Amino acid sequence: MKFLTSGKVKDLYDVDENTLLFKFSDRVSAYDVKFKEDIPKKGEVLCKFAEFWFDELSVPNHFVKRQSDTEIIVKKMKMLPIECVVRGYFYGSLVSRWKKGEVKVSEGTDARLAAKLPEPLFDPTTKSEHDIPINKEKALQMKLVTEEQYSWLERTSIGIYKQMSAVADKAGFILADLKLEFGILDGKITLGDSIGPDEYRLWPKDAYEIGKTQEAYDKQILRDWLTENGYQKQFDDARDAGKEPVPPSIPPEIIQKMTKRYVTAFENLTGHSL
C-alpha cells in the first residue's frame, strides 16, 4: 500500500487501481491553521461517523468498508473542484459576508445570530488552501462545473442536509450547516470525502438560543476560543503581511472538551458506543 498524501486530518494511501484508504488522525486545524496538539479520539470519531453517514444517506457514495477504528476504504473518483456548503442558520462567515453585502439571503430572514433561515441556503466555495465563496455565476465563469452539475449539486446537497438534520433532531441536536464534496465515478456524480464534525456545526437543542454563540459539538469549540482570544485576527493580520500564521498552544481544557463532545455527539446520533 503506497502513501499518497497528508491532508489537514486524513492520510491517503493507494490500495489498488480502484480504491484508496483514508486514515483519520487526531490532528486539528482551524481557520486554515494546523495545530501541534492532537485531540484524542477525534480520528476514531471521524472514521466511524463517516461510515455511519455513508450508510445512512440515500445517495450514491464512494464508501466501501471500514477497515479499522481509524481507517476506511473508498472508491477512487475524480473529485469536483467545488465544496458544497449548505447553511440552515444565520451563523459563521455567513453573518460577516451578509453585513458586507457579499451574499444575499431570502427576504424575511431573521438577521439575529443563530436564527434559522427560511430555507436552507446553498453557499458553495472553491477547493483551495483558503476556500473562496462562490455563486452559480462564478462557478460557471471559473468552469468548475457545468450548469447541469451545479443544479444537481445544489438540489442534492440541500436534500442531504435535510436528511441529516432529521437524524440530528431525533438525537436532540440542531445541524446548523454542512460541507459536502462530490466526484465523478463511472460517469455519475457521487458523494465523496468524509462526513463528520469537521464538516458541520452541531448544536444541542436544549441550549439553543437565538442571538448568542451556540454550544458546539464540533470543531467550532476551537474556533470560538481562537476568536475570543484574538488569535483569528492575528492569523488574518499575518496573512495580510504575507506571513504564515503561527498557531498558539491549545489549552488542555479545550482539548478535553473537544474530545468529550465529539464522543457524545457520535454516541447520541448513532446509538453506538465508542
Please give the CATH architecture assigned to the domain spanning 78-270. Answer: 2-Layer Sandwich (3.30)
- Taking domain 2-75, whether its CATH number is 3.30.200.20 is answered by yes
Query: What is the torsional sign of CA 250, 254, 260, 266?
Result: negative
Helix 220-228, helix 231-240: angle, nearest 10: 80
Q: What is the pLDDT of residue 129?
A: 67
**pLDDT recorded at residue 272:** 95
pLDDT digits (tens, 9 = 90+) for 54-63: 999 999 999 9
Residue pair 67/49 in contact (Cβ under 8 Å)? The answer is no
Query: What is the percent of the chain with per-residue pLDDT over 90, rounded to a whole number?
Result: 93
Distance CA 94, CA 225 (A): 19
Q: Where are the beta strands (DSSP E) in the chain?
A: 2-6, 10-14, 19-24, 29-30, 33-34, 63-66, 71-75, 78-79, 82-89, 116-122, 125-126, 173-185, 188-192, 200-204
- Average pLDDT for 130-156: 95
Q: pLDDT (tens digit, 9 = 90+) per residue, 171-206? A: 999 999 999 999 999 999 999 999 999 999 999 999
Give the residue carrying C-alpha cell 431525533. 170
The C-alpha cell of 143 is what? 468552469
Q: Closest Cα partner for 139 from 160, 118, 153, 158?
A: 153
pLDDT one-digit tens code per residue, 76-127: 999 999 999 999 999 999 999 999 999 988 888 999 999 999 999 999 999 8
d(CA 71, CA 240): 37
Q: CATH 3.30.470.20 in the chain, residues?
A: 78-270
Question: Strands 63-66, 78-79: parallel, antiparallel or unpaired by DSSP?
Answer: unpaired
Confidence of residue 237 (pLDDT cuts 50, 70, 90): very high
Give the type of residue at 149.
Q
Q: In this model, does residue 157 exceed pLDDT 90?
A: yes
For CATH 3.30.200.20, the residue range(s) in the chain are: 2-75
Q: How confident is the model at residue 241 (pLDDT cuts 50, 70, 90)?
A: very high
Grid look-up 468529550 returns 260
Q: Are strands 33-34 and 82-89 parallel, antiparallel or unpaired?
A: unpaired
Q: What is the pTM of this model?
A: 0.94
Q: What is the CA radius of gyration of the chain?
A: 18
Question: φ, ψ for residue 142 (rounded to 5)?
Answer: -80, -5
